[in-house]
Structure 1
């Protein structure tokens, strides 16, 4: 029985119990077009290396990142093809006709340790091959992430 000023208790709703169905299906990231004339670019710290990506530990101490850094001003809608062409301007190995570039985001995990996660690859002169048309935003880039580029 409900006391004075209290609401009477209602019985639970009949029917099957709620079941956990997991997270909603992933939809492809919808990227809004960026007006590069009106939008300020971001600073992208790019670390290149011939033969493979840098190791997680090489980013562990702030200020002591690998020395082969290139700083690029770009936008989140920049494609891997655009970044490939920029890397070719500063890395001789990337200019070879058969060069393949592998891109990885470098970011801190929930424990503060840096993670190197591969996100795509391109070929130096293979327009339309690989992940050329994918943009940083589509791949999940967050402002503040670094970009590791392995040149094979």
Structure 2
């Protein structure tokens, strides 16, 4: 079976995740968006390294990254659901080896990354 790549819309924020309401209007999502081509079998470690390329705060020695999926609930309201965390330089600590697919990622979901 071939795994096809997907365009992942990633929203980073220092100090916490974006609020659900910030995703309510299509086309008016938060401004700090990064688009990454990746696969559903990408690990949180691989995504951490990609985020570090674009977000200075994520490069700090003691940075912790919290990952959340952002998706509409059955009423169409967006939900931000935390799914795992990594440390900027803590290989093997946190949820490094978990993949998007294992965490329940669906095509079309956004990824929120809080940088602490």
TM-score by length of 2: 0.98
Distance 1:39 1:148 in 2: 23
Give the Å deviation of 1:40.
Answer: 3.0
Alignment: residue pair count = 115
Give the Å deviation of 1:129.
Answer: 0.1
Counterpart pick for 1:63 among 18, 27, 31:
27
Deviations 1:88-121 (A, max 9, x none): 0000000000000000000000000000000000
TM-score by length of 1: 0.75
Structure 1 residue runs without a partner (length 5+):
1-37
Deviations 1:30-77 (A, max 9, x none): xxxxxxxx6431000000000000000000000000000000000000
Question: Which consecutive aligned stretches of 4+ in structure 1 deviate over 2 angstroms post-superposition?
Answer: none
Distance 2:106 2:93 in 1: 25
CA root-mean-square deviation: 0.7
Structure 2 residue runs without a partner (length 5+):
none
